[in-house]
Amino acid sequence: MNAAPLATTTARWQALPAEFIRTLLYLVAEMEQPARRSWNKPASLGWIRLSHVCRSWRTVALRDVPVLWARHATIFPSALDTCIERAHNEPLVIEFTDARGEYRDRLVSLLPMACGLRDEEVSRAPDEPHWATTLQGCPIPLLVELTIMRPDLTDGRVSVSIKSSLLAPLLRHCTLGSFMPIKAPSLQSLDLSGGNYPFIRLPDLLKVLRGMRSLVSLRLHRKPTEPDDAASQAKPAQLSNLKYFHIEGSTATQALRYLSSIITSSGVTLIAEIHAPKPALWKKLLESRTVMSSRTVAPDTLILRHAYDDPDNISMDHAGFTSLPYNVTLTSQWSHSALSSSTPMSGLTLGIEVADDDEGRPHARKILSAFQPLVSTYVRRLCIVRPDVALGIDDDTTYKADREKFRSVFRPWSNLRALCLIKAGRGVLRALRIRDEDSKSDVLLPSLRELELEVDGHREPDYWWIELGVMLQSRTAVGFPLERFILLGRKCPKEAKEHWHPMNTLVDDLKSTGRSEFRVPCTEVFVDERKLCLKHAA
């Protein structure tokens, strides 16, 4: 065997400059980190394997990348001391996985050197205290990031006294599966959204938050099955730097208490996922001091989600309905990027989505009608998925009674500025004409300026496209033209045949800048030709 080619290759690797090797080690460390063995995958050395390439590479790995050794010092317990030696006194990232016995005691002794603590999958002996308990009252001067996702404190044995707080003056980011008192004046992000934690008393939380004046992001999770906090006389927490405030899974009463007890900056983004909301409580939320102060500066930053993702949370008397098969969302975020570039308008967006198997359920128009006194005042944008099913509209609304089902829902919405319809039928388009064909004095949605339609693009028949054109023309003819119209296709199959004449004619006229038989109804048009199966599309 001729060893010359191998020797030449090795020499080339050895000749690489140390700076290049060091940079390569950092790049590989981002792509492939070391990992200990788990039940479904073997152990991996990750970037450490590169230290075995040759002597020069090993020299660089042992001497010039102490941050990498410090970051992964506790990945392999048997090599802990070796990794610490190679870290050259760099702050350590400590993972608590499988920390038992003497190894656990060793990690406790290293806490003063830790810049990061992680416990995402912790297994421990029953007689050993949890790490959250160990950290109570512990000073960790170098700690920057803390993640404890499974605290196992549901037995309530751990006190939440401020005297036993974790002391971390440099802590920036903290994610906890349970409330744990922390003294962290530099904290910027606090996430208490873990699912397995005991009830958090509002006074205890406020006591901690008052010492976190640098907080920029706060996320809380409340189980709707927990009792609402009693009215608290505790001093509110002033968080003037807070920009993002998310209350997840709470009741409206809980959310109101939090919003009234945590005073935020004027430009904060508020998200409240509310279970079983009632119109009166939604109105209180929207008119609360914190919400109103944020809306004066950033009117599109309030998000109220109707949280019905868990079937166990759906009762038979929510908001007076027999059942709620719909995902109802009040949100400031428009559903598609095509409209997101437009100038934000004051008011919220209401989204209603129905699943494919929701035929025969109570129609979403009951939901809209129940919330009408509230949403007609605040909502400026509306998005409905499969509106025919959601609103109980037949595809052919020739009769006035059928059209009235649709128009009666939207008639009070005179301030609606933007409408998004996904997979709308012909009946909805006909009912959406600005004036009903049997009552010329009935003007529908006079403030509407943006319309977005998402269609299949290859299934709509000829008369659907004709009806769309008539609907758009109806707005222009009476002096209420749209400012923006967006037509999106869902998907154009490869085997789809070239489309029919009405669709192409309508799209061509929409995009035309000159005079045509079809009067352009708006000043800005976006058409996604790639997914509409147009005969002239590439």
The pLDDT value recorded for residue 373 is 64
Which of 498 and 160 is assigned the larger pLDDT?
A: 498
The pLDDT value recorded for residue 224 is 62
Q: For residues 198 and 177, is the Cβ–Cβ distance under 8 A?
A: no
In the structure, what pLDDT confidence band is assigned to residue 301 with cuts at 50, 70 and 90?
A: very low
Which contacts (CB < 8 Å, 24+ apart) does range 200-206 have?
Answer: 201/160, 201/229, 202/229, 202/232, 202/234, 202/257, 202/258, 202/261, 203/232, 203/234, 204/160, 204/179, 205/179, 206/232, 206/234, 206/235, 206/236, 206/237, 206/261, 206/262
pLDDT at residue 337 is higher than 50: no
Please give the share of the chain, as a percent, with pLDDT higher than 90: 0
pLDDT at residue 293 is higher than 70: no
Q: pLDDT by residue (tens digit) across 78-100? A: 777 888 888 788 888 888 776 66
Taking only Cα atoms into account, the Rg of the chain, rounded to an integer number of angstroms, comes to 30
The pLDDT value recorded for residue 6 is 40
Which of 484 and 489 is assigned the larger pLDDT?
A: 484
Residues listed for the chain: 538
Q: Given CA atoms 192, 195, 200, 204 in this order, what sign does their dihedral have?
A: negative
Three-state SS across 202-225? HHHHHHHHCCCCCCCEEEEECCCC
Extract the runs of DSSP E, i.e. beta strands, from 158-200: 166-167, 173-176, 182-183, 189-192
pLDDT at residue 211 is higher than 60: yes
Which of 430 and 499 is assigned the larger pLDDT?
A: 430
pLDDT at residue 140 is higher than 80: yes
Which of 314 and 205 is assigned the larger pLDDT?
A: 205
Best mean pLDDT range from 50-54, 251-255, 350-354: 50-54
The pLDDT value recorded for residue 439 is 66
Q: For residues 163 and 138, is the Cβ–Cβ distance under 8 A?
A: no
Matching residue, tokens 């909502």: 379
Q: What type of residue is 286?
A: L
Mean of pLDDT values over 317-325: 34
pLDDT at residue 394 is higher than 70: no
pLDDT at residue 133 is higher than 80: no
Q: For residues 239 and 215, is the Cβ–Cβ distance under 8 A?
A: yes
pLDDT at residue 132 is higher than 70: no
Burial class (CB in 10 A: 0-12, 13-18, 19+), 372: middle
What CATH number should be reported for the domain holding residue 470?
3.80.10
The pLDDT value recorded for residue 304 is 47
Q: For residues 453 and 424, is the Cβ–Cβ distance under 8 A?
A: yes
> What is the phi/psi pair of residue 150, to 5°?
-130, 75
Q: At what angle do helices 462-477 and 501-511 cross, to 10 degrees?
A: 30
Best mean pLDDT range from 274-278, 377-381, 409-413, 428-432: 428-432
Best mean pLDDT range from 383-387, 420-424, 447-451, 526-530: 447-451
pLDDT at residue 25 is higher than 80: no
* Residue 518 maps to a domain: yes
The pLDDT value recorded for residue 157 is 40
3-state helix, strand, coil in the chain (%, to 5): 35, 20, 45
pLDDT at residue 285 is higher than 60: yes
Lowest mean pLDDT among 31-35, 160-164, 201-205, 221-225: 160-164
Which of 212 and 306 is assigned the larger pLDDT?
A: 212
* Residue 211 maps to a domain: no
* Residue 310 maps to a domain: no
Give me the half-sphere count of Cα atoms (radius 13 Å) on the Cβ side of residue 522: 21
In the structure, what pLDDT confidence band is assigned to residue 38 with cuts at 50, 70 and 90?
A: low
The pLDDT value recorded for residue 125 is 56
In the structure, what pLDDT confidence band is assigned to residue 507 with cuts at 50, 70 and 90?
A: low
The pLDDT value recorded for residue 315 is 30
In the structure, what pLDDT confidence band is assigned to residue 484 with cuts at 50, 70 and 90?
A: confident
Mean of pLDDT values over 117-133: 63
> What is the phi/psi pair of residue 274, to 5°?
-105, 130
> What pairs with residue 147 in β-bridges?
118, 175
* Residue 411 maps to a domain: yes
Mean of pLDDT values over 125-141: 71
The domain total for the chain is: 1
Q: pLDDT by residue (tens digit) across 353-372? A: 555 444 444 456 666 666 66
pLDDT at residue 5 is higher than 60: no
Query: What are the tokens at 227?
Result: 């009792």
- List the alpha helices (DSSP H) in 449-513: 462-477, 501-511
Residues with Cβ < 8 Å from 351, sequence gap 6 or more? 327, 328, 329, 330, 331, 335, 382, 383, 384, 385
Rounded to whole angstroms, the maximal C-alpha distance in the chain is: 96
Lowest mean pLDDT among 159-163, 266-270, 308-312, 406-410: 308-312
Distance CA 283, CA 374 (A): 6
Q: For residues 251 and 276, is the Cβ–Cβ distance under 8 A?
A: yes
Distance CA 325, CA 308 (A): 8
CA distances (Å), origin 235, targets 66, 162, 200, 217, 334? 46, 15, 17, 20, 37
Q: For residues 192 and 204, is the Cβ–Cβ distance under 8 A?
A: no
Which of 171 and 382 is assigned the larger pLDDT?
A: 171
In the structure, what pLDDT confidence band is assigned to residue 175 with cuts at 50, 70 and 90?
A: confident
* Residue 524 maps to a domain: yes
The pLDDT value recorded for residue 440 is 67
The pLDDT value recorded for residue 256 is 74
Distance CA 465, CA 62 (A): 69
Mean of pLDDT values over 464-472: 83
* Residue 510 maps to a domain: yes
Q: Which domain holds residue 408?
A: 325-538
Average pLDDT, rounded, for the chain: 67
Which of 231 and 132 is assigned the larger pLDDT?
A: 132
The pLDDT value recorded for residue 273 is 66
The pLDDT value recorded for residue 81 is 83
* Residue 107 maps to a domain: no
Please give the share of the chain, as a percent, with pLDDT higher than 70: 50
- In this prediction the pTM is 0.59
pLDDT at residue 334 is higher than 80: no
* Residue 213 maps to a domain: no
